[in-house]
Amino acid sequence: MKYFLLNVLKTIPVLLLITLIVFVLVRVTGDPVSMMLPETATDEERESLKEALGFNEPLPVQYMKYLGDLVKGDFGESFRYDMDALDLVLERLPATFQLAIASMIVAIIISVPLGILSAVKRNSFMDLFITGGAVLGKAMPSFWLGIMLILMFAVNLQLFPVSGKGGLMHLILPAITLGTGIAAEMTRLIRSSMLEILGQDFIRTARSKGLRESIVVNKHAFRNALIPVVTIMALQTSTLIGGTLITETVFAWPGLGQLLVQAVNLRDMSVVQAATLLIAVFVILSNLIADLIYRLLDPRIKYD
């Protein structure tokens, strides 16, 4: 527990650094005033807006004020949607969660049987086929896979809608797009983790007791092989959210990722910073939880 608390304390400077990075990106580089005003604005108008927004004060003062606003939960207004940036971000969050969970389900359905199979039938033709498929899944850019799925199943076969959000049918293609990359990574992980476990003494003991092979593999080996897999996957939260950015854009899925890409293109910086900070906090939290779960599941790990 002491170790865990220490890790929680370590996140404080990280959070501060992230606010500094976002502050530098959004406020210092580029000219926020020129993005808010029409191009015909006079120099006087620019100057008065700068003064009103506090851009003429020294940078450290601006940063402290900015931190004060963040603590109060004030991320500014979206000039594109004319509403509170944080509200806008929170409004889009459920759609992204829906997509992320659906793609994790797709990834698990694909990778668990394939990962176990390729470890059990190591060096067989089947193993070669599965590991080859996993490398291919990693090499394919997800946005291209998404476009190809649309071409095959939405345009040609017309089984699924091309884009947008609706019922379950709208969710399937985006979930496969995002899930395939995760599945590729997970299959490799499950395979190597299973291979390690299958070579250990307690597996030989279980076999020598005369247990059926399916029980040895599914109950004894797989459960133990899962521990590192769960942890490493939980550490991929940042990658998963990065993936939703692209998948949501391809399928016009109205989540946080699509909002972010649009906001970046429109230079709607309040939205960008609210979403970025929220994502960063979420990633840090999930890393902490992953660490905690790992330690709970596997008490052999030392608290160094």
Partner 1 sequence: MTTTLETSQSSLNRKKKGRFKSLFFRLLKSKTGFVGLIIVLAMTIMAILAPYLAMYDPAKTNIMSRLLPPFWLEGGTMEHPLGTDNLGRDVLSRIIYGSRISLLVGISAVILAGIIGMFFGLIAGYYGKLWDFIIMRTVDSFLAIPNILFMLIILAVLGPSVPTLILVLGGTSWVVYARMVRSETLSVKERDYVRSARAIGAKNFRIIAKYVLPNVISSFIVIATLNVASTIILEASLSFLGLGIQSPDVSWGLMLSDGREYLATSWWVATFPGIAITVTVLGVIFLGDWLRDVLDPKIKD
Choose, by CB under 8 A, the member of 53, 108, 147, 172 that binds partner 1. Answer: 147
Annotate each residue in 183-222 with x if it binds partner 1 (CB under 8 A) or - if it does not, as one string: -----xx--x------------------------------
H helical segments located in the chain: 2-23, 32-36, 43-53, 59-71, 85-120, 125-139, 142-149, 168-198, 201-208, 213-215, 222-234, 237-251, 256-266, 269-297
Q: Which stretch binds partner 1 (CB under 8 A): 72-80, 99-107, 206-214, 241-249?
A: 241-249
Residue 131: both structure tokens together: 């590991």
Taking CB under 8 A as the criterion, which residues in 20-79 touch partner 1?
21, 25-26, 29-30
- Residue the block writes with tokens 């004030």: 74
- Nearer of residues 102 and 287 to partner 1, judged by Cβ: 287
Choose, by CB under 8 A, the member of 46, 207, 267, 295 that binds partner 1. Answer: 267
The end-to-end CA distance of the chain, in Å, is 12
Closest CA to 274 of 124, 48, 69, 133: 69
Q: Is 249 in the site for partner 1 (CB under 8 A)?
A: yes
Question: Are 102 and 94 in contact, with CB atoms under 8 Å apart?
Answer: no
**What is the signed CA dihedral for 117, 122, 123, 125, rounded to 10 degrees?**
-20
Secondary structure class of 77 (helix, strand, coil): strand
Per-residue exposure over 260-282, b if at least 16 CB sit within 10 Å of its own CB, e if not? beebeeebbbbbbbbbbbbbbee
Measured distance CA(233)–CA(225) in Å, rounded: 13
Q: Which stretch binds partner 1 (CB under 8 A): 14-22, 78-86, 92-100, 115-123?
A: 14-22
Measured distance CA(196)–CA(203) in Å, rounded: 11
- Nearer of residues 147 and 211 to partner 1, judged by Cβ: 147
Measured distance CA(209)–CA(216) in Å, rounded: 10
Taking CB under 8 A as the criterion, which residues in 84-143 touch partner 1?
135-136, 138-141, 143
Choose, by CB under 8 A, the member of 265, 299, 302, 303 that binds partner 1. Answer: 265
Choose, by CB under 8 A, the member of 64, 83, 97, 144 that binds partner 1. Answer: 144
Choose, by CB under 8 A, the member of 182, 194, 246, 271 that binds partner 1. Answer: 246
Size of the site for partner 1 (CB under 8 A): 49
CB of 206 to partner 1, least distance (A): 25
- Nearer of residues 28 and 61 to partner 1, judged by Cβ: 28
Q: Is 10 in the site for partner 1 (CB under 8 A)?
A: yes
What would you report as the CA-atom Rg of the chain, rounded to the nearest whole angstrom?
A: 24
Measured distance CA(22)–CA(28) in Å, rounded: 10
Q: Which residues bind partner 1 (CB under 8 A)?
A: 10-11, 13-15, 17-18, 21, 25-26, 29-30, 135-136, 138-141, 143-144, 147-148, 150-151, 155, 188-189, 192, 238-239, 241-242, 245-246, 249-250, 260-261, 264-265, 267, 272, 276, 279-281, 283-284, 287
